[in-house]
Amino acid sequence: MSGAPQRTLLLWCPDWPVLAAEIVDGVPATDPVVVLHANRVIACSERARAEGIRRGLRRREAQGRCPHLTVVDHDPGRDVRAFEPVVAAVEEVVAGVEVIRPGACATAARGPSRYLGGEEAAAERIVEHVAQTCAVESQVGIADGVFAAGLAAREGRIVDPGGTREFLAARPVEALGRPALADLLRRLGVRTLGEFAALPAGDVLARFGFDGALAHRLAGGRDDRPLAVRQPPADLTVTADHDEPIDRVDAAAFAARTLAERLHERLAGYGLACTRLGIEAVTAHGQELHRVWRHDGLLTAAAIADRVRWQLDGWLSGSNGRGGTRPARPTAGIVRLRLVPDGVLAQAGLQPGLWGETGAERERAHRALSRVQGILGPEAVVTAVLGGGRSPADQVRLVPWGDERAPARPGPPPPPPAAPAPGAASAPVVVPAGGGARRRAGRGRAVAEPPWPGRIPPPSPAVVLPAPLPADVRDAAGEPVVVSARLAVSAAPARLAVGDGRPAEITGWAGPWPVDERWWAPAEARRRARFQVSLADGAALLLAVEGGQWLVEAIYD
């Protein structure tokens, strides 16, 4: 936690959920409007407040006070989408903006105040720019720390440097935004932030826990963390300027293909694809042309090139302006062409696959693997399928290439691709492109299955041994470590020897995690306990003890 709070400028848009409903859904914010979540009012318009409606009221009570009330359901996605243009407008004036929540964003006040002529001038400039760009009313507060700046923004106030503690002292404890804590503090006789901040920090931590200690820091004017500024969105637009105006369809087709490839490479570099494409052109006479193309799926490089070529063909082959149904042809050739991606999607599945990005390349890979199977047999090329199981080896099933990749046992969906996945194989393993979370037929959505009791906690091991290795675990006195039937460990593990190797010192361990399988069938019953241990040389292992014998099952990366 940061001890010295940073001078912070915070922009706040009052009643943002109501305003977002007006921007996105067209609900007039000038009418009595409330936004409900869990059947309670979380935001209301100015007209609604004039009718006596306040945050926290139940729906029936709010409608009783104002029968002609407009009710809008809470939609966090809508609030975020509507607030993005406001953040972009602020970023046009200052750099390093953090979105606190939809309707509030903050930045360090030092930079804007220095190059805009002071804190007051910076606040006025930002508010004016947001109003002109987005037609949104906002207020700015400046204080030491994000929490104090948020309270100052509600009053449109600039707190003097070093005066944040006095500014907060008279505020009620409800300003912390923690209703349960505020209610408890009032019952204990603590009514203001100043009284709360005067309590000893150690006593607050012991009585109210970590969240109470964090609130205590905020009440004392100390920030809980530095600003986490966001990265401005990448500029994905591609532009091409032409010295010689383009007035022929064949030249336009060449320009379209080159520019489409540039756009697709830029999108692929960010793992993105677009579903709508804006095509803009400027002629030598300054005429501006614009058209938006939509597509049901994702626009590939070839699809982008086709649409640009079609559009340029339509513009350059238009009528001469003396009649006809086709649009008028531009009076001069095109000197600037710009592609603006819209409807951008970010998905892991849009990353280039192992076999390339086109269906033809994937088909070639499929034919090659099938040929290998024809020569060496179906088991020569297999894919790893994750399923259920209590041990890492049980969770992986090797399926011949081309067979249905269905888990042998039910289990939770596999982890995301960035997480290490367990795997064990004695044959070569080839993972095909397009692999992902297991999907249930019908609706095509990942289905969460019930967990396996006794499964080890994450992270998963990086290497699962085909056959466990025998090991010897001893305590500090050199005696073997024994785990009783009640899972009592005789002593803390101190040294580990794998096979005939030299003993290694154990620096940390966790467990045991018991596994009691098929206890209803004595002939097939299996009972063991597993441990995670870290060694002095930096290695980390997954151990299991079964029938008094220690085994090494897997290795962590």
265 and 137 in a single domain? The answer is no
Q: Is residue 360 part of a domain?
A: no
- Specify whether 450 is located in the same domain as 467: no
Residues 20 and 143 in one domain: yes
Q: Which residues of 202-216 are buried (b: 16+ CB within 10 A; e: fewer)?
A: eebeeebeeebbbbb
Instruction: Name the pTM for this structure.
Output: 0.49
- 165 and 261: one domain? no
Question: Does residue 355 form part of some domain?
Answer: no
Same structural domain, 88 and 210: yes
What H or E segment, with its residue span, contains residue 26?
none
The number of domains in the chain is 4
Instruction: Tell whether 288 and 205 lie within a shared domain.
Output: no
Instruction: Determine the Cα–Cα distance for residues 112 and 11; give it in Å rounded to an integer.
Output: 13
**Residues 204 and 339 both lie in one domain:** no
Residues 270, 223 within the same domain: no
- Per-residue DSSP letters for 516-556? EE-TTSTTT-EEEEEEEEEETTS-EEEEEEETTEEEEEEEE
Rg over alpha carbons for the chain, rounded to the nearest Å, is: 32
Q: Which of residues 177, 209, 233 is at a domain's end? A: 233
For residue 203, the enclosing domain spans: 1-233
Residue 445's H or E segment, with its range, is none
Whether the Cβ atoms of residue 168 and residue 193 lie closer than 8 Å to each other = yes
Cβ contact 459:420 at 8 Å: yes
Query: Which tokens go with 218?
Result: 């905020």
Provide the 3-class DSSP secondary structure of residue 253: helix
**Judgement on whether residues 94 and 183 belong to the same structural domain of the protein:** yes
Residues 330 and 311 sit within 8 Å (Cβ to Cβ): no
Domain of 271, CATH number, reads 3.30.1490.100
Nearest to 339 by CA among 384, 301, 298, 388: 301
Query: Does residue 424 fall inside a structural domain?
Result: yes
Contact call for residues 336 and 243 (beta carbons, < 8 A): no
Is 10 inside any structural domain? yes
Return the SS3 of 416. Answer: coil
Domain boundary among 297, 318, 350: 350
Residues 228 and 244 placed together within one structural domain of the fold: no
- Is the residue at 361 inside a domain? no
Look at residue 384 and tell me if it is in a domain: yes
Residue 556's beta-bridge partner residues?
Answer: 540
Domain C-terminal end among 410, 432, 457 = 457
CATH of the domain at 142: 3.30.70.270
If asked whether residues 108 and 203 sit together in one domain, one would say: yes
Q: Is position 487 within any domain? A: yes
List the chain pLDDT tens, one digit each, 557 residues: 445 678 999 999 999 999 999 998 888 988 999 999 989 999 999 999 999 999 889 999 999 999 999 999 999 889 988 998 999 899 899 988 888 999 999 999 988 999 899 999 999 999 999 999 999 999 999 999 999 999 999 999 999 998 999 999 999 999 998 989 999 999 999 999 999 999 999 999 999 998 899 999 999 988 767 787 766 667 788 888 888 888 887 888 788 888 888 888 888 887 787 777 888 889 888 888 888 776 655 677 787 887 788 788 778 876 554 444 455 678 888 889 888 887 777 654 445 555 554 455 666 676 677 667 656 666 778 888 777 777 777 777 787 776 666 666 665 544 443 333 333 333 333 333 333 333 333 333 444 455 677 677 777 788 888 888 899 898 888 888 888 888 788 888 888 888 888 888 888 888 788 887 777 777 777 788 888 888 888 888 888 888 888 888 888 87
Same-domain pairing of 475 and 446: no
Q: Is 513 within the bounds of a domain?
A: yes
CA dihedral 150, 154, 159, 165 (to 10 degrees): -60
